[in-house]
Structure formats: C-alpha cells, structure tokens
Chains A and B, each alone.
Chain A
Amino acid sequence: MRNPHRLISILDKGVKRSGVGRKSICIVSDIRFPISIAKEDGLDYFHTPRGRAIPFSVGMKLANPDLKVIAFPGDLATIGGNHFVHGGRKNIDITVVFVNSFYYNTINGKKAPLVDRSFSPYGGDEKPFNIPFMAKACGAVYVARWTALHAEELSISISEAINKVGFSVIDLIYPQKNFYELSEDSGEYADLLEFYHENSEIAGGVDIKETEILGDKKILVGKFHESERLDFIQAYNAMQQKMLGEKFKPYGVKQ
C-alpha cells in the first residue's frame, strides 16, 4: 500500500463505472490505508481507529442512506472481526474492500490471522481465515476476490459492489513490502505484486469453501457469490410497516 497510485486509478475507474456521483461517495478506512488516495481523489475520507471502519460506515450509511460508503478496513479479521460478522448479518448496504496484506508490515511483520506461517521470530502454525467463505456465511450478498494486479476485474467488482444493495465484500490481495526486505519503491515490490498475480487463478464458479489461501495451492480469485436479500433499512421498514401500518413513514425514503 506504499505505492497507492495503482489503487487510486482502480478505485477511480470503479466509481466512474458505477455511475454514482462522486459527491455521495465516502471512503472510511482504518489503519494502513494510503492517505494520498483521498487527498488526490477528492472523495470524502474518514480514517478511524484500527478495526472500526465498518461500524463508522454503518453509522454514516444508516444516518444518511443517500451516501455510498466504501470501507477499506485494515484490521478487519482481528480487532474488527465482530463488526464484519454483524455487518454481514444485518446486511448493511455498504461496500467492504478488505485490504488483505497477510501480516502487519509496519510493525516488523507481526502475526496476523490470514497466514498459517507467520512472521514471528519462531514462526507459527495457526489456521488462517477464509475471508470469502466467512463473508458469505455471515450473510454478505456479494463476495469477490482479486489481487492488486487484476485492475480491470477489480474496478468492475468495485462498481458492482457500490451498486449492489446490501453488504458487499471484496477480498483484495494487496501484499505490502516486508519490513526487513523490500524498500518502498523497489522493483522487488513490483515483483511481489506480480508473484501473487501469477500464482492466482480465476475461478468464479468455485465452491466458496474451496477459496482458502494455502501455501501449496494457487490463489483462487473471481466473483464467488451474489445473492438478493433485503438490506437493513428495507427490512426495518418492512417490519415497522407491518407493525404500525399506515402511521409509519418509511425511514430513509424521500417523501
């Protein structure tokens, strides 16, 4: 994420493709999101304490349903895990682009729950999360995964996710430089991006349980899941209408 320009242009393309006005797009992130994206792109941008991008987005979206909120959580699988789970269950109409860099690069590559072999001094062997499978199980209505070099596919996914009503998740494989090895703009970093791209395989129709990232397997990418379900506000309005009848004016709907 130290070289954010790629993501800027991808996000930009995605937003253009979606047809949504730039004014109504809000980006919410937590730790490790390149600040220059917001500076250069001119979208409304909010940086929250680690792991809290999703609940902050939920507040924004529910308070003003006209906004299109894209969350870029960094610590999603750890400190923000429960927010992710419940965001999916509630089917809040936000887009979550999960920036998956496998480990904490800025703090010497400390352990994260997304790799089985971690970068702690004596290694580790913990089972990593399978984010797409988890997202679907929690109730997300749109689940995809791409690597950073799948620029075209990713921008299409972003545009689809913005327009999808409900909790949409894109697992973005975006490796960061290893603290010890790579300098910021070295060719080695480009090689790393290339490595993940080359070791991926587009497999849209695959059983989502099989999308786990394992050392000896190719990384499966593609759109894995799409379904229809009432989002939080629609479901709330339907239930209140049923209980209160005529007296109830639907929330978040312009009269």
Chain B
Amino acid sequence: MPPKSRTALKEKANPRDVFTGAYYIDGDVATAYGAIAAGCKFVGGYPITPSTEAAEAFVRRAPYADALFVQMEDELASIETVLGASWAGKKAMTITSGPGYSLMMEGIGFGAAIETPFVIVNIQRGGPSTGVPTRAGQADIMQAKWGSHGDYGVIAIAPDSPQECFDLTIKAFNLAERYRAPVMLMADECVGHMTEKVIVPPADQIEIENRKAYQGPPGRYMPFKPDRDLVPPMVKAGSGNKLYITSHLHDEKGYPVEKSGRGAFNKRLVDKIRLNADDIIDITEEDVEGADVVVVAYGIASRVAYKAVVEAKKEGIKVGNVRLITVWPFPEKRIKEISKRVKGFVVPEINYGQIAFEVERCAHGNADVVLVPHGGASVHNPEDILDAIRLAAKGKGQHKGTIEFETRLAKRIFPSGLKPKKGEGE
C-alpha cells in the first residue's frame, strides 16, 4: 500500500520575484515575467525566433530575482542544463521554437524518464524544418505529446493572449512541480508577438507550488517510489540522500532493471498524467448546452474562431465554443459528452489536422468533425471558419470521420491541384 498522498507545497509568490503593475508588453515578455513570478531561477536556452524576446526579458529581470540565464551552445545542451538545474533544486525552464524544440526531444524524454519538473516554452512558428521563422504555426501540438521516443506523459498548455502567457506560465510551473513532469507552454508566434495590456498582480495574489518534500530518514529516500497520487516526492542533489538517477529503465530506488515485466515502471509515467487528468484539464466553454455546432480551438486560432462564432450566432446558428487551455491531457470525457448532443464539431488549427483527429477520436462517431486547416505563416480567415460552422450545422450525419474544409486560400493557390476524393469536403 503506497503511503498517504502528500500534496505539493503551496505558498504565495515571493514579492521580490513579482514585478507588480500594468504593462503593455508582448506574449514573449509576459512569459518571462510569469516564469520569474512562479519562482523560476534558471533558464538555459539558445536563441531562436520568435522566442528571443522571452529570453531577453528574463535576462533583464534575472539579476533582481536571484535568477540566472545561461546561453548554451545548442538546444541539446539547453534542455540538459534545465534538467540538471531542476535536480539541483531550482525551478528551471527553457525557451525555444520549432527547430530547437525538435532538438530538445532527447532531453524531454530523459526529463520525463527521471521525473524531473521543468517547463519548456515553445513559441510555435511555421514548419516543417526552419519553416517560417517569423510567422505563426500550431503544428507542433502532436510533437509535444509524442515527440520523444518511448512512453511518457506530458502536459501542454496553449495561451491565447499575453495576459494568459503570464498566468499560464505560472500554472505550467505549478503543474510541473505537482506532477514531476515536463510541462510545455505551446504558445504561437502570434500570441508571442502580440502586444496587449498585461496585469501583473501583487505577490500575495499569486499562488505557487513547490515539489513534494521527502520527510523520511536520510539515506532511505526512493526517488521513484510514488505516493497514492502516483507522484514521488523529490529531494535535491547534494542533500545526502545518495541519489541514483538514470535514464535507463529503473526501479523505485532508481537502479537500472532489464528483467522482463519491469517495463511496468513506465506505466506510471503515463498514468500519473492520465489518471490525474481531471485535476489538470482546464477548458473554457461558452453556449455549449443546446448547441448544434461546437467549435473546438486553442491558442491564436481560438481567438480568430471567436469572430466566426459571433457571426454564426447572428445568423441564428446554435453554436458554442470550447477553448482548450490545456491541450494535453486532452479533455476526452467532455468531448465525448458533447458529441452526443451536437451535429458537428468545427476545429480550426494552424496545421493540417492534429487536434481535429483527437476530437474525432473522442467523438466516437457521434458527430461530424470539420477540420479547418491552415498551412501556417498567418492565421485563418474567419469567413472560412464561418463557412465550416454552416457546413457542420447542416448536420448531414454522415459521421465519416473528419471532413477537411477547403479554405479560400487553398482554392486560390491550388485551383487545379490534387483534390480530396468525392464525398470528403464540400
């Protein structure tokens, strides 16, 4: 029987780390301010557009918060320094974008395997490869979940405004500390470079969490022995606990194991996120009850979609919207519930179908899913999303998987190109 669950230690933010006030800043800068407010003391990074403003803002503020930014030789090293810093007892983060994010996958898997709390900020840009460095994309969402090899659980959060960049960065640190897991802040270039008013509240209004402490006798600490919430307490290096931490498959003590069946240790890496999903998932809903069509979106696409939702309502279409604040773990139960009552979902995202298929999976064939794709380097035309809502509202009830909506841009650029087979799309 595992010991009674201890909970992460909650406390108010340190006033020294909170630069209270009203600012007119972009999402990148707000992310850095949020990290410092959350108690982040270490950032290892490598510069990459469009995330550099976040790193720069952190560097400027770091000396006043007893924090350190170190620019490493590459992203492979950056992510490792973050893991090292976290085990040394500091809250740590790295900031990057697409190409750097790909390089970090090795470290993300390592961090997940040794259950390290850390935050990765990915200001997504257009891909693949170097793609469109200065423009938005949302095509790294599946990579966030599946990017590194092997089984592990992650948490991913998608802010849609500079204010949320601040608030959700704090949330990201809190979740990382609570679950000893990687947390990704999956912003996009639009949100990162969007300048808006950001309120940084006083320190006593910001709640931060710290990793569960070990209270047993020194030398008896088991780094991977979980409590009932499946999360083990954590000590820092240099505290006399004879740590043995390895990237290999390991047992509760941390020693490598190769016997068959021991792979079950990996199950907890997945389960601690999956089984705590209700605690982690954060979505906002509007007019979902009684809706015929529900728009599911996240990040900048959710803001663009909002205009289409307003227009559709004017036309008399019963449309609601669900905005994913946490993208991973995915709100499977809620989407399933909604799917039983609606004709269709509309999923606009700046990629060629990632979360749309996740919605389709959770809809269990109860409702159509209309994907409004976008190739990146810009955002959707709200007219396209409006048309997609109209299409979903017709409710043909075909339930033949995801329907890819053909946007105005696609029609213009590929007028005689390869078309989807008849029956798919309109």
Question: Most A CB atoms within 10 A — which of B41, B72, B73, B78?
Answer: B73
Looking at the complex, which one of A44, A55, A63 makes contact with B42 (CB distance below 8 Å)?
A63
- Assuming the contacts A82-B73, A82-B74, A244-B63, asked whether A23 and B110 have C-beta atoms less than 8 A apart, the reply is no
A101 at the interface (CB under 8 A from B): no
A195 at the interface (CB under 8 A from B): no
In the assembled complex, which residues on chain B have CB atoms less than 8 Å from the CB atom of A60? Answer: 84-85, 87-88, 237
Task: Give chain B nearest CB distance to A61 CB in angstroms.
Answer: 8
Task: Give chain B nearest CB distance to A63 CB in angstroms.
Answer: 3
A58 at the interface (CB under 8 A from B): yes
In the assembled complex, which residues on chain A have CB atoms less than 8 Å from the CB atom of B92? Answer: 59, 63
In the assembled complex, which residues on chain B have CB atoms less than 8 Å from the CB atom of A57? Answer: 84
B126 at the interface (CB under 8 A from A): no
A240 at the interface (CB under 8 A from B): yes
In the assembled complex, which residues on chain B have CB atoms less than 8 Å from the CB atom of A45? Answer: 243-245
- On whether the beta carbons of B66 and A249 are closer than 8 Å, the reply is yes
A34-92: which residues lie under 8 A (CB-CB) from chain B?
A: 35, 38-39, 42-49, 52, 54-64, 66-67, 82-83, 85-86
Looking at the complex, which one of B68, B110, B239 makes contact with A48 (CB distance below 8 Å)?
B110
A179 at the interface (CB under 8 A from B): no
Per the bound structure, the CA–CA distance linking A35 and B256 in Å amounts to 9
Per the bound structure, the CA–CA distance linking A28 and B246 in Å amounts to 10
In the assembled complex, which residues on chain A have CB atoms less than 8 Å from the CB atom of B246? Answer: 35, 46-47
1/0 contact trace for B62-79 toward A, CB 8 Å?
Answer: 011010101011101110
- On whether the beta carbons of B255 and A39 are closer than 8 Å, the reply is yes
Question: Most B CB atoms within 10 A — which of A47, A48, A55, A252?
Answer: A55
- On whether the beta carbons of B238 and A240 are closer than 8 Å, the reply is no
In the assembled complex, which residues on chain A have CB atoms less than 8 Å from the CB atom of B89? Answer: 63-64
Looking at the complex, which one of A39, A42, A43, A52 makes contact with B76 (CB distance below 8 Å)?
A52
In the assembled complex, which residues on chain B have CB atoms less than 8 Å from the CB atom of A64? Answer: 88-90, 236-238
In the assembled complex, which residues on chain A have CB atoms less than 8 Å from the CB atom of B47? Answer: none
Residue in A closest to B114 when the chains form the complex, CB atoms = A46
Looking at the complex, which one of A26, A58, A248 makes contact with B237 (CB distance below 8 Å)?
A26
1/0 contact trace for A212-250 toward B, CB 8 Å?
Answer: 000000000000000000001000100010001001110
- On whether the beta carbons of B82 and A59 are closer than 8 Å, the reply is yes
- On whether the beta carbons of B70 and A62 are closer than 8 Å, the reply is yes
Task: Give chain A nearest CB distance to B132 CB in angstroms.
Answer: 27
Task: Give chain B nearest CB distance to A22 CB in angstroms.
Answer: 8
- On whether the beta carbons of B240 and A23 are closer than 8 Å, the reply is yes
- On whether the beta carbons of B90 and A52 are closer than 8 Å, the reply is no
In the assembled complex, which residues on chain B have CB atoms less than 8 Å from the CB atom of A82? Answer: 73-74, 77
Looking at the complex, which one of B63, B242, B247 makes contact with A47 (CB distance below 8 Å)?
B247
Task: Give chain B nearest CB distance to A152 CB in angstroms.
Answer: 27
- On whether the beta carbons of A83 and B243 are closer than 8 Å, the reply is no
- Assuming the contacts A49-B106, A63-B88, asked whether A55 and B244 have C-beta atoms less than 8 A apart, the reply is no
- On whether the beta carbons of A58 and B66 are closer than 8 Å, the reply is no
Task: Give chain A nearest CB distance to B111 CB in angstroms.
Answer: 10
Chain B: residues with Cβ within 8 Å of the partner, total of 44
- On whether the beta carbons of A48 and B63 are closer than 8 Å, the reply is no
Looking at the complex, which one of A24, A43, A244, A251 makes contact with B242 (CB distance below 8 Å)?
A43
Residue in A closest to B242 when the chains form the complex, CB atoms = A42
In the assembled complex, which residues on chain A have CB atoms less than 8 Å from the CB atom of B133? Answer: none
Looking at the complex, which one of B41, B68, B87, B107 makes contact with A46 (CB distance below 8 Å)?
B87
Per the bound structure, the CA–CA distance linking A45 and B243 in Å amounts to 6
Residue in B closest to A236 when the chains form the complex, CB atoms = B68
- On whether the beta carbons of B80 and A23 are closer than 8 Å, the reply is no
- Assuming the contacts A45-B245, A63-B84, A63-B88, asked whether A35 and B255 have C-beta atoms less than 8 A apart, the reply is yes
Per the bound structure, the CA–CA distance linking A44 and B248 in Å amounts to 16
B320 at the interface (CB under 8 A from A): no
Residue in B closest to A92 when the chains form the complex, CB atoms = B70
Per the bound structure, the CA–CA distance linking A83 and B78 in Å amounts to 10
Per the bound structure, the CA–CA distance linking A83 and B242 in Å amounts to 27
B407 at the interface (CB under 8 A from A): no
B225-284: which residues lie under 8 A (CB-CB) from chain A?
A: 236-248, 255-256
B83 at the interface (CB under 8 A from A): yes
B44 at the interface (CB under 8 A from A): yes
Task: Give chain B nearest CB distance to A189 CB in angstroms.
Answer: 23
In the assembled complex, which residues on chain B have CB atoms less than 8 Å from the CB atom of A58? Answer: 44, 70, 72, 77, 80-81, 84
Looking at the complex, which one of B42, B238, B242 makes contact with A59 (CB distance below 8 Å)?
B42
In the assembled complex, which residues on chain A have CB atoms less than 8 Å from the CB atom of B77? Answer: 52, 54-55, 58, 82-83, 86
Residue in B closest to A35 when the chains form the complex, CB atoms = B256
1/0 contact trace for A13-26 toward B, CB 8 Å?
Answer: 00000000001101
Question: Most B CB atoms within 10 A — which of A26, A60, A249?
Answer: A60
Per the bound structure, the CA–CA distance linking A85 and B73 in Å amounts to 9
In the assembled complex, which residues on chain B have CB atoms less than 8 Å from the CB atom of A252? Answer: 68
- On whether the beta carbons of A44 and B106 are closer than 8 Å, the reply is no
- Give 7 CB contacts A-B under 8 Å: A35-B246, A45-B245, A52-B76, A54-B77, A56-B84, A58-B77, A64-B89
Binding site for B on A (CB under 8 A): 23-24, 26, 28, 35, 38-39, 42-49, 52, 54-64, 66-67, 82-83, 85-86, 232, 236, 240, 244, 247-249, 251-252
**Which A-B residue pairs are the 10 nearest by beta carbons?**
A59-B84, A59-B81, A63-B85, A55-B80, A55-B77, A47-B246, A63-B88, A60-B84, A64-B88, A86-B73
